[in-house]
Amino acid sequence: MATIRKTPSGTWKALIRKKGWPASAKTFRTKRDAEDWARRAEDEMVRGVYIDRSRSERMSLADALDRYLREVLPTKKPSTQRSEAPRAERLREFFGAYSLAAITPDLVARYRDERLATPGQRVHRLAGKVTPLSPSTVRLELALLSHLFNTAIREWRLGLVHNPVVGIRKPPPGEGRSRRLLPGEEARLQAAVSAHSNPMLGWIFNVALETGMRSGEILGLRLHQVDLARRVVRLSVTKNDSARTVPLTQRATQVLCEALANPTRPKECDLVFFGEPGKDGKRGPYAFTKVWNDTKLALGMADLRFHDLRHEAVSRLVEAGFSDQEVSAISGHKSMQMLKRYTHLRAEDLVGRLDRVQRKLPGGGGSDHLLQLGPQVHAGEVEADRAGAHPDMGPEVGNVEQQAVRRRVSTVARSDLRGKRHAGLQPGRARRGGA
């Protein structure tokens, strides 16, 4: 039964005590508001759907962020902790004074629109001016806000009914990069990084290009992870938390052999690519980002990113004929959809392959020849193509040839069938449906 009483400050406090439910109380300006709330709350308790929203109404987003950073963020990877701390500050600036219960989808949508129109913090190297924030930046900020609300609903039990971020339209994800090394760029980069005073820059560049490993995986390499005898690198800490073993090419093996034999490595350091001691006296990974950016800018490759070397390496594996399963085992991609984003075949390579297919066809004709071959394409030729009659060409070309031959046979068969149908019609005999 609800109890309504007036407080010394002139407000009205409603207190509900019901068996099986914790005591609930709320203060209102008028007695009628207190009675209406008590009536609704008691009805929800009878139906078993009552939710105490008082905690979500009292806790501000700033307090919720403090608890999130204190309890949830330390459970994430160190790299994630470093990136999410600034995002939390952006959310605090906009939502900090609001209570969790007061944050609605329209308010989150307004934050999204304002952030998308906000100029970036850095000047774009190619455009030469400050550009708006990328949609991916805003998406990550909304993802952090959404995870905070999910945690408050599922674990903190603050009485929230729904997550206001779920129902709004998210900024579109950025297009996957398709930057590949252009002719001559690899040689120029190789000469530049090899001429640098620190040989680790060249070693890191070559390991990335030969193995497709991420920069964090390369910089985190320890001595015990490199097995030169078996020519493999065993990665235990990866982006998707899945350990994998990366095979090494001959070039990568040679580069890592030189890196392991680095005479400047201190005895107490087990990092393959180590940097200078920090303020605490401990050595971290080699910080090569600045010198890498300066090098590519000096070469006129401002649009090239270090992660594009991973794109290049994975795409070369695909072009070499490795299957999707083999490529994913080397690169560490969990889904074929993600792998597809990182494999970009050069169109000029596909044109050359098409030319080789046409040269191998009978007559060596052009595109018209593919559709105008007569009945001389018989079962023997189809079987020869299926068996792989061209040993100098890869299995992918054989598959393309099989499909081309089948299309030619199907085209000829349809033409013959139409001719026979027309020939079977007697003069003066009306077609079905005709006059």
Ordered strands of the 2-6 beta sheet: 2-6, 12-16, 24-28
Please state, in angstroms and rounded to a whole number, the distance separating the CA atoms of residues 263 and 327.
Answer: 35
**DSSP secondary structure letter of residue 306:** T
Name the residue among 311, 287, 304 with its Cα closest to residue 212: 311
Q: Is 98 a catalytic residue?
A: no
Residues 6+ away with beta carbon under 8 Å from 220: 237, 271, 285
Q: Is 214 a catalytic residue?
A: yes
- Active-site residue identified among 239, 265, 305, 316: 239
Please state, in angstroms and rounded to a whole number, the distance separating the CA atoms of residues 131 and 121.
Answer: 8
Q: Is 311 a catalytic residue?
A: no
Q: Is 177 a catalytic residue?
A: no
Please state, in angstroms and rounded to a whole number, the distance separating the CA atoms of residues 175 and 136.
Answer: 10
- Active-site residue identified among 53, 90, 112, 333: 333
- Active-site residue identified among 310, 311, 360, 408: 310
Q: Is 31 a catalytic residue?
A: no
- For 275, phi and psi rounded to 5 degrees? -115, -165
Please state, in angstroms and rounded to a whole number, the distance separating the CA atoms of residues 314 and 211.
Answer: 8
Radius of gyration of the chain (CA): 33
Q: Is 310 a catalytic residue?
A: yes
- Active-site residue identified among 26, 90, 214, 296: 214
Contact 131, 120 (CB under 8 A): yes
- Active-site residue identified among 231, 307, 316, 356: 307
Contact 375, 334 (CB under 8 A): no
Please state, in angstroms and rounded to a whole number, the distance separating the CA atoms of residues 198 and 200.
Answer: 5
Catalytic residues: 214, 239, 307, 310, 333, 342
